[in-house]
Amino acid sequence: MTSEGPVFGPELLVEIDPQRELSLHEQLERSLRENIRSGRLRAGMRLPSTRALAAELGISRGVVTEAYGQLGAEGYLETRQGAAAQVAKAVRATVAHAPARSLLPTFAYHFHPGLPDLAGFPRDRWLRSLRSAWRESPLAAVGYGDPRGVPQLREQLADYLGRVRGAAAEPENMLMCTGFMQGFSLLCRWLQSHGIEAIAVEDPGWHVHRLIAEQAGLRTIPVPVDADGLCVEALHESGAAAVLVTPAHQFPTGCVLSRERRTALIEWAESGERLIVEDDFDAEYRYDRVAVGALQGLAPERVLYIGSASKRLAPGMRLGWMLMPSWLAWDLITAKAIEDGGSEVVGQLALCDFIARGELDRHMRRMRLRYQQRRESLLAALARWLPQGRPSGTAAGLFELVELPEEVSESGLLASAAARGVGMEGLAWHRCSTGGAPGVLLGFGNLSEPAIEQGVRLIAEALEETLRTPATPAEQAELVPAQLA
């Protein structure tokens, strides 16, 4: 027989409520388990008999017996026939933990250079694709499948990338991954395991490229970038067997690899059986002309292409893809299969439907227009509030590099802007070595036009403050950004 409402055992501080959905023995288990974990019930402490506790709580003895038995099986209690149950001596109280917090800082105006418009994510259309994926896919689709990814998605993506990016996409040589970072990490580990000690990277270039390569045990060889992109002559001199490039929209300078350099880069790869890794992160957002096609389309056996849904839809989707040279495909597929058995399937099925219904094309057209307007707003705000800054790069992507006067302390500006609620990245963070003119990266993808205006105005205030109080030589040498990527 149970009581009408919650009942507390004063000694054990347990709560039993017959109105809850959980069964009585599950409620008792949870209360006792938490008491033991928190230290309120210490190791070696004796518990009431099943009969006594049942009477105290107004529940049946069988409920207490079942709860004691479960906690004994889990190792929280020691139970013996004819003896009182007691808290197991091996159990140690856990330290009370603080609420989970994000490692990423928050800013009122965050000019994150790689963040698309999160409010622009087509939730209703994506939900329709999710429902369609569940409704129309066979049960086997959510079992253990091909580690390369859902075959239907690989076919849809191959068609899309061939049509939109000019890629030579073969579904059999495509591998789905959780984004660029996983794909590049798999490749770096393969290089290291095959005796390759270093990979060339752009300088400046996305700092995460270097971190991934170095974590895999590779040295990174910086190759300079100018207005025409990667300097291929310097690449020849580096002695590298592989290079990572962002040819359609270089990060962080915003330049595009020139036609002559594209040809020279392909010749470099083919002449020595070398490998080019192409990070095609936001090339479809071009505002002054049709986007430059993927480098992979020129030499599919020399270029490993990596793309993702991060800029096209949202980073949190964790959906990416690799177009692999045929001679490299099996090794990377095997590595992926060993690492995680293949990427999650439901999102792949939804993306397949999303592409097949033409939703991705429509979404990209909408967002291209929106980002073009935001970029124009950014340039206008810079001209109005920050004339000392010089925008650099092609009319493309989700960010603008703003070069600053030599006397500006980049780290000082970042800190002063952060104090005003403005987050941004400094150019120095993405250089392989210290020195060079200061600059900041202003991402406009996830900021409204009024927010862009206000954010730039606050950056101008921060710049004035920085120039009034020049940084010490130590501060100038530090050049550490004020926030995480």
Task: Specify the pLDDT at position 480.
Answer: 43
Does 349 fall in a domain? yes
243 and 285 both lie in a single domain = yes
| C-alpha torsion sign, points 394, 399, 404, 409 | negative
Per-residue pLDDT tens over the stretch 119-140 = 999 999 999 999 999 898 888 8
72 and 143 both lie in a single domain = no
Per-residue pLDDT tens over the stretch 299-348 = 999 999 999 999 999 999 999 999 999 999 999 999 999 999 999 999 99
Domain count across the chain? 3
In this prediction, residues 265-286 reach a mean pLDDT of 96
Per-residue pLDDT tens over the stretch 46-79 = 888 888 888 888 889 998 889 898 988 989 998 8
Per-residue pLDDT tens over the stretch 439-455 = 999 999 999 999 999 99
Residues 348/150, Cβ–Cβ less than 8 Å:
yes
Q: Which residues contact 34 (CB under 8 A, 6 or more apart)?
A: none
Does 106 fall in a domain? no
Does 92 fall in a domain? no
Please say if the pLDDT value at position 475 is more than 60.
no
Share of the chain above pLDDT 70, in %: 93
Is 176 exposed, middle or buried, given 0-12, 13-18 or 19+ CB atoms closer than 10 A?
buried
Q: How far apart are the C-alpha atoms of 155 and 288, rounded to whole Å?
A: 30
377 and 289 both lie in a single domain = no
232 and 297 both lie in a single domain = yes
Query: What is the DSSP code (8-state) at residue 324?
Result: -
183 and 328 both lie in a single domain = yes
Tell me which residue of 290, 301, 230, 309 sits closest to 262, measured CA to CA.
230
60 and 135 both lie in a single domain = no
442 and 377 both lie in a single domain = yes
Tell me which residue of 356, 325, 328, 314 sits closest to 150, measured CA to CA.
356
Task: Specify the pLDDT at position 145.
Answer: 87
Is 341 exposed, middle or buried, given 0-12, 13-18 or 19+ CB atoms closer than 10 A?
exposed
Structure-token pair, residue 353: 């439907």
Most confident of 33-37, 180-184, 474-478: 180-184
Task: Specify the pLDDT at position 471.
Answer: 55
Structure-token pair, residue 29: 């288990």
Which residue range forms the structural domain that includes residue 381? 362-478
CATH of the domain at 208: 3.40.640.10
Higher pLDDT, 181 or 26: 181
Q: Which residues contact 249 (CB under 8 A, 6 or more apart)?
A: 256, 281, 282, 283, 285, 286, 394, 396, 397
Is 128 exposed, middle or buried, given 0-12, 13-18 or 19+ CB atoms closer than 10 A?
middle
Q: Which residues contact 15 (CB under 8 A, 6 or more apart)?
A: 6, 7, 8, 27, 31
